[in-house]
Amino acid sequence: MELQSLTAISPIDGRYRAKLAGLSDYFSELAFIRYKVRVEIEYFIALCQSGIPALRGVSADLFEPMRDLYRGFRLEDGQRVKEIEAVTNHDVKAVEYFIKERFDALDPSLKAAKEYVHFGLTSQDINNSAFPMMLRDALQNEVINGYDAVIGKLQEFVAEWSGIAMLARTHGQPASPTTLSKEIRVYVARLDRQMEILRGLPYYGKFGGATGNMNAHYVAFPETDWHEFAADFLADQLELERAYPTTQISHYDNLSVVFDNLKRLNTILLDLCIDVWLYVSMEYFGQKTVAHEVGSSAMPHKVNPIDFENAEGNLGIANALLDHLSRKLPVSRLQRDLTDSTVLRNVGVAVSHSFLALLSLEKGLDKLTVNRARIAADLENNWAVVAEALQTILRRENYPNPYETLKDLTRGKGKVDAATMRAFIDGLDVSEAVKQEMRAISPSNYIGAE
Task: Supply the residues annotated as catalytic.
Answer: 171, 296
Residues 6+ away with beta carbon under 8 Å from 157:
180, 181, 184, 365, 368
Radius of gyration, alpha carbons of the chain: 31
d(CA 141, CA 235): 20
- From the list 81, 72, 89, the residue with the least C-alpha distance to 29 is 81
Across 97-189, the runs of DSSP E, i.e. the strands, are: 165-170, 173-179
The conformational region for residue 401 under phi > 0 = left, psi -120 to 50 = alpha, else beta, is left
Contact 126, 39 (CB under 8 A): yes
Q: Across-strand partners of 179?
A: 165
| DSSP letter for each residue of 195-220 | HHHHHH---EE---SSSSS-HHHHHH
Q: Which of 47, 242, 262, 245 is nearest to 129 (CA)?
A: 242
Q: Which helix (H) or strand (E) holds 14?
A: none
Amino acid at 147: Y
For CA atoms 18, 20, 26, 31, give the dihedral sign. negative
d(CA 120, CA 215): 8
User: Beta strands 173-179 and 165-170: pairing type?
Assistant: antiparallel
CA–CA gap between residue 204 and residue 240 (Å, rounded): 5
Report helix, strand or coil for 380: helix
